[in-house]
Structure 1
Amino acid sequence: MSEETYNSLDGRADVVVQAGRIGEVHQHLHGAGVSPQPTPIQLPPALAYFEDRQAEQERIAQAAEGHRGHAGPLVVALTGIGGIGKTALGFHVARQLSDRYPDGVLYVDLDDLRRDGVVEVADAVGELLTGLGVSPDWLERSFAGRSKQYWTRSRDKRLIVVIDNARYGAEAVPLLPASAQSLAIVTSQGLLYDLDGVAAVEVPVNPLAVDDAVRLLRHIVDDPRLEAEPDAVAELARSCGGLPAALQVAGQWVRKYRRRSLSRLVAELTAELHERGLPMIEAVWDAACSGLGPEAGRLYCLLPQYPAPVITCPAAAALLGGGLLPAEDALEELESAGLLENRPEGYRMHELLRGHAERRARQTDPEGVGRAEARRRLIRWYRRQAGRADLLAAGPRMTFADPVAVVEDVPDVDFAGKAQALRWLESQRLALYGCVRLAFETELYEDAWALCEPLWTHFLDHPHYADVTDAFRTGVAAADRLECLPAMVRMRCQLARPLWEQERYDEAAEQLRHALGASEALGESAQERKLKASVREFQGLLKSAQRDWTGATADFEAARQVHAAIENAYGVLLQTYLLGRTALSQGEPERAVALLSTAHSMAREQDRERMTSRAGFELGRALRRAGRAAEAGGLVRAALVNARERGSTFDEARVLEELAALADELGETAEAEEYRTAAQLLAARSGALPDGGQSS
C-alpha cells in the first residue's frame, strides 16, 4: 500500500511577522524550533597541520576584499590534480574567512551525488537547503522549485559555500548563493571553462615545493631522524611528488619504523621503484600496507567494494565478516597508517588510495573470490538492517521479499526506536542506494529489488530523486531478470511515484501500464489480489497528481472493492480516505464528509493513530466547506496535536492555516489572524517559498 503524504498548503507566507502572544500556539512554536536557526558550519575538524599555500590564500583573501559592485557572489575555483590538497585548502580558507561571512559555511561533495558520471543538481541544491534549515517536508519537488527556495534562503546572506569535485561549471552554477556578499569555493581537477556570467577567480593548486613538503612531513611525524638525515627527508618528500595525500602516508610509514635509518627506508623504496617500475607514490603506499596487520590489510583491499564515500564500523564488520571490535581495530590501524581519514560521520578513503587498494586487491585475490564474498555479505547485511529499520519506522506493510537471516558474525544495528531507525536510514542512504546498484552488478538480482522495498518509506520522507529513481529503475530491471511477477509489479509502482512527483507524468504512466499488464497474470491469493488493488491505487494517485479527479475516483473505488472482497480492513480504510479527499477536491463537500466520517471511524476502530489524525483533519476541512464549521474544530485541533507530536512542521503549518479558516468562518477574527501569523512564521522558518506554495 502506498503511504500518501500531504503536498499542498493553503495560505501564503509572503509576509513574515513576529507574532505576539497567541496563547498555546505561540508558546509551542517558541519551544519547537521556530527560534532562529543555528548558523550552519559544515566543515570537518581542522587539520592538526596545514603547510604553505600562502600565495593561494593571499590571492583569495584579496579577491574577497575587492569583491565590490558585482551582481553575484565571488567564485574561487581551486584547480589541480587529485591528491594535491584542493579540498583541504578550500576548508582552510573557509575557516580563515568565516568571520567575514557570519551566516555560515555550507559544503556539498558532488562526487557523493554522482551517478554514471552525472550529478542530479536538484539533489545537490536539496543538500544545501537542508544545511540552511529547510526540513525534508518543505523541500520543493522540482529543480526549479528548489532553486527558488535556495535563492530565497541565501538572498542577502553572507555565506561561504564549498562545492567539492565539480567537473563542469554547469554543475556548480546552480549551487551558487543568490547574495553578492557570499563566497563560493569550487574545487575541480580541470579548468571550469563554462562558469558563464560568474565573477570567478581561478586559483591553480600546484604540488608542494620540496621545502614545503619537508615541513609538512615534520608536522606529520616528529622524529629526530628528520633532523639528522636532511638529504633523505628531501628525497622522500621529492618522491611523493608534492602530493599531501602521499606525504601523509609516508609520514605515518616513517613513524612506524622508528628503528630503521631514514636513508635505509628511502633506499628500500628506491629499490622497489627500480625493480617493479612503480611510481614512487605507489611504492610509498605499498610500504605502508606491508606493515599492516592481517585484518587491517584485508580490510584495506576490501574497501573499494564499499559503494559509498564514508564507512562506519558496523559496515566494515560486514565487509570483514567479523565482530565490531576487529573492525574497529582495523579501521584505527588504517587511520594510523595514513590510509584512512577519520571524519565525524565515519572513515573516508582518498580516491587515489581507493585506486591503490583496488590494485592490491587484484594482486592478493586475483580470482576475486574474497571480494565477491565480502560484497555478498555487505549487501545481505544492509538488506537486513534496512528491513528492520523500515519495520520500526512504518510498521507491517505489503512486502514480497523474504526476511534476511542474521549475517553470521556480523552484529545487527541496535535500533532504540522509530526515530533512530529513520535517522539510520538517512545517514546510510548513499550506502543503501549504492548496494542496490552493487547487487545488480554482482547479479544478486533478488537482493537488488528486495533492497528497494524498505527504501520506500525513507523516500517518502526524504525525496532524494536521483538516488531513488536510479535505485527503483534498478529494482525493476532486477525483478525483470528474475521474472518475479510480484516484484515486477511492485517495483514499477514504486518507480512511478518519484517520476510523477518530478512531473514526468508520461514516464510514470508507462510504468503503471506495465505494472497493470503484469498484474493480470497474478493469481487469486489474498496477497496477489491486494497487489492488484495497489496498482489501481497508484493509478489513482497519478491521476490525482494530474487533477483527473474522475479517473482517480474510479481507481480508488475499484481498489476499495478488492480490499473489501479479501477482507483487508486497512485497505478499505485507506481507499475510503482517498475517495473522501478526492471528493473534496472535486468540490463535493457533503460527499466528502460522508466518506471521511467513515474513514475516521474505521481508523479509530483499527487503532491507526496517524490515519485517525489525517482522516480527522480532512473531515474537518470538508465540514467547514459544507458550512458546518462549528463541528470541525475538535477534529482539526486533534490533528494539530498529532502534527506536533510527530514533529512535522509541514503538517503543523497546514493545520494552523485550517484553524485560521475555521476561525474566519466563526467570526473569530483575532484568533484567525493569530493562527495565520503563526502558520506563516512556521512556514517561513521551515523553508517555504515566499508565495507559500509547495509543488506536489
Structure 2
Amino acid sequence: MAEETHNRLDGRAEAVVQAGRIGELHQHLHGAPPAAPPVPFQLPPALGHFEDRRAEQETIERATGAREGRAGPLVVALTGIGGIGKTALGFQVARTLSERFPDGVLYVDLDDLRRDGTVELADAVGELLTGLGVAPDWLEPSFAGRSKQYWTRTRDKRLIVVVDNARYGGEAAPLLPASAGSLAIVTSQGVLYDLDGVAAVEVPVNPLAVDDAVRLLGHIVDDPRFSAEPEAVVELARTCGGLPAALQVAGQWVRKYRRRSLSRLVAELTEELHERGIPVVEAVWDAAYAGLGQRTARLYRLLPQYPAPVITAPAAAALLGTGPVGAGDALEELETAGLLESRPEGHRMHDLLRGHADRRARQADPEGTDRAAARRGLIRWYRRQAARADHLAAGPRMTFADVVPPLGDVPDIDFTGKAQALRWLESQRLALYGCVRLAFDSGRYEDAWALCEPLWTHFLDHRHYADVMDAFRTGVAAADRLEQLPAMVRMRCQLARPLWEQERYDEAEELLRQAVGASGALGESTGETKLKASAVEFSGLLKSARRDWAGAAADFEASRRIHERIGNAYGVLLQTYLLGRTALNRGDAGAAVALLAEAHGMAGAQGRERMTARSGFELARALRGAGRAAEAGGLMRAALESARARGSAFDEVRVLNELAALAAESGDAGDPAGAEEAEAYREAARSLALRSGALPPSPDGSPPPDGQSS
C-alpha cells in the first residue's frame, strides 16, 4: 500500500489522544522555541600540507575587497585540469575568509549528483538548503520551489558557497546565493562561458612551478635526503608535472623507502618512465602501487567498481569478501600511500587515481573475473543491509524479493534501532542508488529491482528525486527483463509517485494504467491480492494529486473491497482513512466525520499509533467543518501536545493553523477573544514555519505554490 511505510526519523509514530468534548479552547501557545541551527561549516578538515598558491589567493583577496556596484554575490571561478588542486585551493580560500562570512560555509560536489552526465539541480539546491537548517519536511518538491526557498534563506546573508566540479555555467548559476554580501567559489575544468548575467572573477589554476612543487614535497615528507640531494628532489618534482595529486603520492612513496638514496629512487622511476614510454604521473602512481601489500593492491584495483565517491570499511570488506579489520587495514595502507584521501564519512579516491586503478585492474584481471565477483558481493551485501535497515525502520510490509542470506566472512551492519537504520540508509544513499544501476549493467536484474524495495522507505523521508526516479526506472526495466509480474506492478506504482510529485502526471498515469492492467494477471495469493489493491490505491492517490476527488474515492472504495475480501484489517483501515480524507477535500464534512471516526477507532483497536495520530488530526479537521468545534478542539489540543513532544515543527504548524481556524470561528460566533486568539495561533504558525525554512505566504495570504503548507 502506498502510505503504509512512511516512517520519520523524528518519531512520528506517537498517538494523538482524543481529549473529549471541550467547551472552551485554552491553548498555551508558547512551546519550547526550536533551537537555532548551528552556523554551517561544510568543509572537510584542512590538509596537513598545502602549497599556498599565493598569487591566486591574492587575486581572490583583492576581488573580495571590491564590493561597490555589485548586485549579486562575488563569484570566483577556479579553472584547471583534473588533479591540479582546484578543490584544495577552494577549500583553503574558504577557510581563510570564513571569518568575514559569519553566516557559514556551504559545499556541494556536483559530481556526486551527476547521473549520465546531468546534474539534478533540485537535489543540489536541496543539499544547500539542508545545510542552511531546512528539515526534509520543509523542502519544496520542485526545483522552482526550492530555488525560492534558497533565495529566501540566503537573502541578506554573508555566506561562502563552494560549488565543486561544475561542467557548465548553467549548473552553477542556480546555486549562487541571493545576497551581494556572499561569495561563491566554483571549480571547473574549463572556463564557464555560460554563467549568464554573472560577473565571475576567473582564476586559472596552473601546474605548480618547480620551486612550489619542491616546497609541497617538503611539506608532505620531512626527510633529510631532501636537503642532501636537492637535484634529485627537483627531478622528482618535474616528473610529477606540477600536479598536487601526483606529488602527494610521490611524497608518500619516498617516505616508504627511507633507506634508499633519493637519487636511486628517482633514477629507477625515470628509467621505467623512459623504457615503457608511459605518462609521467603514471610512473609515479605505478611506483606507489608496486609497494602495496597483496590485499591492499587488490582493493585498489577493485575500488573503481564502487558506485559512490566515498567508501567505508564495511563496504570495502564487501568488495574484498573479507572481514572489516582486513578491509580497514587496506584502506589505511592506501591512505598512507597517498592513493586515498580520508574524509570524516569515509575514504575518497581522486578521479585520476580511479582511472589508474582501473587500468591496473584490467592488466591484472583481463577477463574481468575478479571484478565481476567483487561487484556481485558488493551488490548482494548492500541489498541485504538495505533490506535489514528497511525492516527495522518500516516493520513488516509488502515486499516480493527473497531475503539475501549472510555473506560468509563479510559481517552485517550492527543496527541498534530504527533511528540508526534510517541514518544508515541516508548516509549510504549514493552507494545504494548506484548499486541499482551497477546491478542492472552487470545483468543482475533481480538484484536491481530488489534493491528498489527498501529504497522506497528512504524516498518517503528524503525526496532525492533524481536518484529515486533513475533507480525505479531501472527497477521497472529489470523487472520487465525477468517478466517478474509482481515486481513489474510494484516498480511501476513506486515510480509513479515521484513523477506525480514533480507534476509529471501523464507519465505517472501511463505507468499506473500499465500496473493496474498487469495486476489482473496476478494470482490469488494473499500477497498478490494485496498488490492488486495497492495498484488501485496508487491510482486513487494520483487522482487525488490531480484533485479528481470522485475518481479517487472510487479507487479507494474498490481497493477497500479487495482488502475486505481477504480479511486484511490494516488495508481496510488505510482505505477508510483515505476515503475520509477525500470526502473532506470534496467538502463533505459529514461523510468525512463518519469515515475518519471509523478509521480512528480501527487504528486504536489495531494498536496502530501512527495511523491513530494521522486519523485523529484529520478527524478534528472534519469535525470543525461539521460545526462540532468542541470535539475538534479536544483532538487538536492533543495533536499540538503530541507534535511538540516529538519536536515536529511541520506537524506543529499544521495544528496551529487548524487551531487558528477554530478560534476564528469562535470569534465569528461572538466570542470577543476568538479573533485575538486566532491571530496569535496564525502568528505562531507563521513564525515557526519561516524559522523551519518554509516559503513565506503570497501577499494575498495564499499558501506557497507547491502546497508546502498542506
Q: CA deviation at 1:653?
A: 1.2
Within 1, Cα distance between the matches of 2:148 and 2:444? 41
* Partner SS for 1:186: strand
Q: 1:26 aligns with which of 30, 38, 45?
A: 30
Could you tell me which runs of 5 or more consecutive residues in structure 2 were left unpaired when the two chains were aligned: 8-25, 698-702
Could you tell me which runs of 5 or more consecutive residues in structure 1 were left unpaired when the two chains were aligned: 7-21
Q: CA deviation at 1:24?
A: 5.2
Q: 1:395-406 counterparts in 2 under 5 A?
A: 395-406=395-406
Within 1, Cα distance between the matches of 2:371 and 2:509? 40
Q: Is the 8 A contact 1:138 1:694 kept in 2?
A: no
Give the corresponding residue for 2:609. Answer: 609
Q: 1:309-328 counterparts in 2 under 5 A?
A: 309-328=309-328
Q: 1:638-653 counterparts in 2 under 5 A?
A: 638-653=638-653
Q: Is the 8 A contact 2:73 2:182 kept in 1?
A: yes
Q: Is the 8 A contact 1:592 1:622 kept in 2?
A: yes
Give the corresponding residue for 1:695. Answer: 706
Within 1, Cα distance between the matches of 2:530 and 2:373? 37
Q: 2:687 aligns with which of 678, 681, 687?
A: 681
Give the corresponding residue for 1:122. Answer: 122
* Letter matched to residue 69 of structure 2: G
Give the corresponding residue for 1:484. Answer: 484
Q: CA deviation at 1:639?
A: 2.5
Give the corresponding residue for 1:13. Answer: none
Q: Cα–Cα, structure 1 residues 278 and 24, in superposed 2: closer, same or farther, change >3 Å?
A: farther
* Letter matched to residue 91 of structure 1: F
The CA deviation string for residues 71-105 of structure 1, in whole angstroms up to 9 with x for no partner, is 11111100000000000000000111111111111
Q: CA deviation at 1:646?
A: 4.2
* Partner SS for 2:137: helix
Within 2, Cα distance between the matches of 1:268 and 1:638? 77
Q: Cα–Cα, structure 1 residues 25 and 253, in superposed 2: closer, same or farther, change >3 Å?
A: farther
Q: CA deviation at 1:404?
A: 1.1
Q: Is the 8 A contact 1:614 1:639 kept in 2?
A: no
The CA deviation string for residues 473-532 of structure 1, in whole angstroms up to 9 with x for no partner, is 000000000000000000000000000000000010011111112111111222111111
* Letter matched to residue 425 of structure 1: L
The CA deviation string for residues 619-644 of structure 1, in whole angstroms up to 9 with x for no partner, is 00000010001001222233334434
Give the corresponding residue for 1:263. Answer: 263
Q: 1:344-359 counterparts in 2 under 5 A?
A: 344-359=344-359
Q: 1:274-285 counterparts in 2 under 5 A?
A: 274-285=274-285
Q: CA deviation at 1:645?
A: 4.5
Give the corresponding residue for 2:629. Answer: 629
Within 1, Cα distance between the matches of 2:27 and 2:246? 62
Higher deviation after alignment, 360-369 or 584-593: 360-369
* Letter matched to residue 426 of structure 1: E
1:662 aligns with 2:666: no
* Partner SS for 1:84: coil
* Partner SS for 2:30: helix
Give the corresponding residue for 2:522. Answer: 522
Give the corresponding residue for 2:176. Answer: 176
Q: Is the 8 A contact 1:610 1:642 kept in 2?
A: no
Within 1, Cα distance between the matches of 2:266 and 2:2? 63
Within 2, Cα distance between the matches of 1:627 and 1:303? 64
Within 1, Cα distance between the matches of 2:415 and 2:635? 33
Q: Is the 8 A contact 2:79 2:189 kept in 1?
A: yes
Q: CA deviation at 1:25?
A: 4.5
* Letter matched to residue 686 of structure 1: S
Q: 1:672 aligns with which of 657, 669, 678?
A: 678
Q: 1:219-368 counterparts in 2 under 5 A?
A: 219-368=219-368
Q: CA deviation at 1:199?
A: 1.6
Within 2, Cα distance between the matches of 1:317 and 1:368? 19
Q: Is the 8 A contact 2:27 2:637 kept in 1?
A: no
Q: CA deviation at 1:206?
A: 0.1
Give the corresponding residue for 1:140. Answer: 140
The CA deviation string for residues 159-195 of structure 1, in whole angstroms up to 9 with x for no partner, is 1100000000000001111111111100000110101
Give the corresponding residue for 1:48. Answer: 48
The CA deviation string for residues 23-79 of structure 1, in whole angstroms up to 9 with x for no partner, is 854243x2xxx2322111111111111113111101111111102221111111000
Q: CA deviation at 1:235?
A: 0.4
Give the corresponding residue for 1:193. Answer: 193
* Partner SS for 2:49: coil
Q: CA deviation at 1:648?
A: 2.9
1:499 aligns with 2:510: no
The CA deviation string for residues 7-33 of structure 1, in whole angstroms up to 9 with x for no partner, is xxxxxxxxxxxxxxx9854243x2xxx
Give the corresponding residue for 1:10. Answer: none
Give the corresponding residue for 1:19. Answer: none
Within 1, Cα distance between the matches of 2:522 and 2:597? 34
* Partner SS for 2:619: helix
Count of residue pairs the alignment pairs up: 677
Q: 1:585-596 counterparts in 2 under 5 A?
A: 585-596=585-596
Identity of aligned residues (%): 78
Give the corresponding residue for 2:204. Answer: 204
Higher deviation after alignment, 479-488 or 382-391: 382-391
Q: TM-score, normalised by structure 2?
A: 0.94
Q: Is the 8 A contact 2:167 2:192 kept in 1?
A: yes
Q: Is the 8 A contact 2:560 2:572 kept in 1?
A: yes
Within 2, Cα distance between the matches of 1:674 and 1:392? 40
Within 2, Cα distance between the matches of 1:57 and 1:512? 56
Q: CA deviation at 1:662?
A: 2.2
Give the corresponding residue for 2:104. Answer: 104
Within 2, Cα distance between the matches of 1:553 and 1:23? 35
Q: CA deviation at 1:656?
A: 1.9
Give the corresponding residue for 1:424. Answer: 424
Higher deviation after alignment, 539-548 or 360-369: 360-369
Q: TM-score, normalised by structure 1?
A: 0.96
Higher deviation after alignment, 643-652 or 443-452: 643-652
* Letter matched to residue 219 of structure 1: H
The CA deviation string for residues 123-149 of structure 1, in whole angstroms up to 9 with x for no partner, is 100011101111111110111101100
* Partner SS for 2:289: helix
Q: CA deviation at 1:675?
A: 2.9
* Partner SS for 1:342: strand
Q: Cα–Cα, structure 1 residues 247 and 636, in superposed 2: closer, same or farther, change >3 Å?
A: same
Within 2, Cα distance between the matches of 1:574 and 1:187? 49
Within 2, Cα distance between the matches of 1:143 and 1:515? 28
Within 1, Cα distance between the matches of 2:198 and 2:541? 42
Q: 1:466-481 counterparts in 2 under 5 A?
A: 466-481=466-481
Within 1, Cα distance between the matches of 2:297 and 2:636? 60
Q: 1:546-585 counterparts in 2 under 5 A?
A: 546-585=546-585
Within 1, Cα distance between the matches of 2:462 and 2:645? 19
Please, what is the CA RMSD of the aligned residues?
Answer: 1.4
* Partner SS for 2:260: coil
